[in-house]
Structures are given as C-alpha cells and as structure tokens.
Copies of this chain bind each other. A is one copy, B any other.
Amino acid sequence: MIFECIKSEGLAHHSYFISSQGAAAVIDPRRDATVYQERACQHGANIQYILETHRNEDCLSGSLALATLTGGAIYHGHRSDWGYGNIAKDGDLFPLGGLQISALATPGHTDESLSYVLADMETGGQPFMIFSGDTLFVGDTGRIDLYGPAQAPRLAASIYDSIYQKLLPLGDGVILCPAHGAGSVCGANIADRDQSTLGLERQHNQALQKSRAEFIKYKTAEILEHPHYFSQMEMLNRDGPPLLGNLPQPPALSPAQFRSEMEQGILAVDTSPPVAFAGAHVPGAYSIWLGGLSAYSGWFLPYDRPLLLVLEDEMYLRAAVQSLVRIGYDRFAGYLKGGTESWYLASFPMESLPLLTVHELKAKMEHGEDLFLLDVRRHNERQTSYIPKSHHIYVGHLENRLGELPRDRPVAIYCTSGRRAGIAASILKRAGFGTVYNVLGSLSAWVNAGYPIIREHVEAAPRAPQEEQQLHNTTLP
C-alpha cells in the first residue's frame, strides 16, 4: 500500500493519494492536479477513483482536471446540480487492490457531505483510515454556517449525529484524515498537529466534549468570516472549473510595461514580506504575502480581469501562480521583471510605510498622540483580547468600510503579526490615506512586551495566528 497526504499550503488543504496493487484513488484533489498523476506514474498505478467529500467553497476542485488526465471516475454525494461526475451513496463500495473504500454519508458541513472509510481486505477487512472531509478535523469540527443562520441549527445537529453515529463507531483505532489542517478558513480551531485518530478526537477534541444540545448551541454561536468569493468557488465547483493544462506562465514585464498596465486599471499584487513592502513598494499595489495569496486574494481581487504580480524573487513566480490558480485566478497580465529593484532603478516613484514598533506605539499612545489604532483581525480573535483604544474592522471588510476611518491623522494597523495589517496598510495607501503604519509584530509583539490588553470572555483560548502561517510558500518548484 502507498499512502500520501498532499498538502496545499496557504489553503491548508489536505488531499490524499492511496494505491494498492496498481490501483489508485485520490481524495479531494486540488486544482493543479498533475501532482497526483505523477504519484501514480511513480508507483506504477492507475487512478481509478477520484472521490470528493463535499463541494468546496474555499478552493477549486481538481477532480475534473484529474479525470481528464487519467480517465479516473469522479464520485461525490448527491446534489441535484452537479455538472460532472457520479453520485456515491452511503455504503457504496470501491474495491482498490487489496483495499476497499466505502462511502459513508456524513451530512452537516453540507447536506451532501460524504466520508470515505478505508479497509484492509488482506488482513480481515477492518477499517483503518477515515477520510472525513470537512466533517471532523483534528481538534475541531466543520463549520455549519454556509447555508445561512436559519439552517445552522439543523446542520449542527446533523454534523453531531454524523460524528457520533457514523464516524466514532468505526473505533478508536481508526486514523483520521480530514480535508484541512491548521490555518484553514474552514475551521476555527484546527490543531497544529496533523496526526490523529478517532480515539484521540473522541477524548480530546474540545467540540466533542459537549452534549448534543450544548454542541448545537456552541456551533450556531460560532462566527466565522464568509468571504464573498466563496460563492464564486462554489459555482465553479458545481460545474467543474475550467481545465488549465499547465500552469499559466505570466510574461516578464519591464517597469515601463508594468506601469502601463497599471495605468489601464489592471491591479497589482506585491507578494513580498511586509517588511520589504514597508521599505519601498510600487505605489498602488496590494500587499499580500506569498503564503497568504490563497486565503486573502479572494476578498480583494476581481475575477473578470487579469492580474499583475510583484515578486521578491522570480523563484517565487510559480508558487504565486499556483496559489492564485487554486482559487480561480487564471489570467495574468505579467510580473515585474527584477521586482521592486527594477522599478526604482528605472527612477519610477516609490512609496514606503514608516516603522512603528510596539514600543513606539505605546509611547505615542501614552503621550496622547492623535493616532487611530485599527485592529484588522477576525471577529473571533477580536473577541478574545485586544489593545486598548483600538477600533476593529476585519481586513476582508476594510475596502467597504473605509468611510469609518479618519483621513486627517495617522492610522496604525495591527493584526497578530503584521501580515494582515500589511494588506490593510496597502488598502489605505491605495485609497489615498496619508501616514499609515503597519505595526510590525502587532499583537504578538505587544503581548511579548508585557503591555496591557483587554480580555473578553471566551469559552476556549484561541490558537496561534493560524491564518498567517506561511510567510513564503514552502512548496517551491
């Protein structure tokens, strides 16, 4: 048996390649799907099944692409509007060499959600792995808010029953393989550790230490961001995303060509780390660090026009394109050859963000300087604790709420580290705000410095800044 978890960083999306005796299955393939074909080739296997646990809303499915490449058959749960693939029902069996996969209906995250049970037929047919999709994560359960608040209680009950009546009865010893790891927007408290079993979750998953009624109450109260690009993802995943072939290869543009594109209204994204963006940048560019492209671009960038990229090193081009393609950005007007340096060598105008450390921020606040302090973290992070006198607007909502910010005094922005604050700072600069600070280190540095915060009541301590985990994508070609 060959088994591999293939992770898409930035999205914290986990897909799985399984093969036995020359037959292979893939669970929840990502859009840039040649990786699975390469595994199949490497192990001398043919991909027979492409199994989807549910229709994704945070990223594009690679099922259709992989089926085109390999001839494998796609299966997913019943839904009336699928544009491709076959319907699998609870109990359907998929023999795979010396293994067997069976479908298990586990509604809750969505109504059609399936899990897949993997059993070893050579040693008695016992289940030993469960591919639980967005139903059960390591340390958390799937979100149930995607159909709106009215349906949340019903879905919460449904996911509870799926977990207690379908998954946990498989036995404590079954290994858990969910569709996401820490950092995903699909779960609030997914553990940093990927390895788990149903037994460990039964005993230690905080969401499972409740009664059914408590669980439903807890889940329906959970407030998670719901980006508008989710509907774009869902629509494309319903019909099957456009087939890409190879990854797009954006052309290298000279500074003059790049400027010309910007002047025609094409949006530019600078994927440098926040500290480099602060040092100097192409005016008008969004700042979204490389590892954040998949999770944040959908809030800001249009789907109907091509994009421009600024990279700190051309080596990152492929990773940037890959991150964007996974959420449906397929068209690129080009990238700035030579990066920011070529821009200033050409004597084109530059902008910067002045440095404001947490120590300087504290001093300014104590001296009563007229500073607007903006917190751009998620709602559930804000709920836990914040810097006194700060205002809160989630970074994803910022462009629609710029009117709430003063234009006549400096704005200092923080998040957990300075990454999302960097996005926010670039939004304000684009909108013509004057002095804008990205507080590098943000709440983490503030807390590490021992400065006072305001804590609110929360049930469980939040985790580390999961949304911000990769500064660079580590899956470079």
Which residues of A approach B to under 8 Å, CB–CB? 1, 3, 22, 34, 37, 40-42, 44-46, 69-71, 98, 120, 122-124, 126, 128-129, 139, 171-175, 191-204, 245-246, 249, 251-252, 254, 272-280, 312-315, 317-318, 337-341, 344-347, 349-355, 357-359, 417-418, 440-441, 444-446, 448-449, 471-472, 474, 476
The chain B residue with its CB closest to the CB of A341 is B471
The answer to whether A345 touches B279 (Cβ under 8 A) is no
The answer to whether B249 touches A69 (Cβ under 8 A) is yes
When chains A and B are docked, how far (Å) is the Cα of A200 from the Cα of B352? 47
For this complex, 12 residue pairs linking A to B, each with C-beta atoms less than 8 Å apart, are A22-B252, A120-B193, A123-B191, A128-B196, A171-B172, A173-B198, A173-B200, A174-B199, A275-B280, A341-B471, A346-B441, A352-B354
The answer to whether B194 touches A1 (Cβ under 8 A) is yes
Q: Which of B22, B275, B351 contacts A340 (CB 8 A)?
A: B275
The answer to whether B172 touches A41 (Cβ under 8 A) is no
B residues in contact with A42, CB < 8 Å: 314
A462 to chain B, nearest CB (A): 12
When chains A and B are docked, how far (Å) is the Cα of A246 from the Cα of B66? 13
The answer to whether B46 touches A251 (Cβ under 8 A) is yes
When chains A and B are docked, how far (Å) is the Cα of A355 from the Cα of B352? 7
Number of copies of this chain in the oligomer?
4
Q: Which of B98, B245, B315 contacts A245 (CB 8 A)?
A: B245
When chains A and B are docked, how far (Å) is the Cα of A196 from the Cα of B200? 14
B residues in contact with A22, CB < 8 Å: 252, 254, 337
B residues in contact with A280, CB < 8 Å: 275, 278-279, 355, 440
When chains A and B are docked, how far (Å) is the Cα of A359 from the Cα of B448? 40
The answer to whether B129 touches A445 (Cβ under 8 A) is no
Which 10 pairs, one residue from A and one from B, show the smallest C-beta to C-beta distance? A173-B199, A279-B279, A172-B172, A278-B279, A276-B276, A344-B441, A352-B355, A347-B449, A347-B445, A173-B197
A47 to chain B, nearest CB (A): 10
The chain B residue with its CB closest to the CB of A317 is B41
B residues in contact with A171, CB < 8 Å: 172, 199-200, 203
B residues in contact with A273, CB < 8 Å: 276, 312, 341
When chains A and B are docked, how far (Å) is the Cα of A118 from the Cα of B97? 33
B residues in contact with A275, CB < 8 Å: 272, 276, 279-280, 340-341
A449 to chain B, nearest CB (A): 4
Apart from the given pairs A174-B199, A315-B472, 4 other A-B contacts in the complex at a CB distance below 8 Å: A171-B203, A276-B279, A280-B440, A349-B359
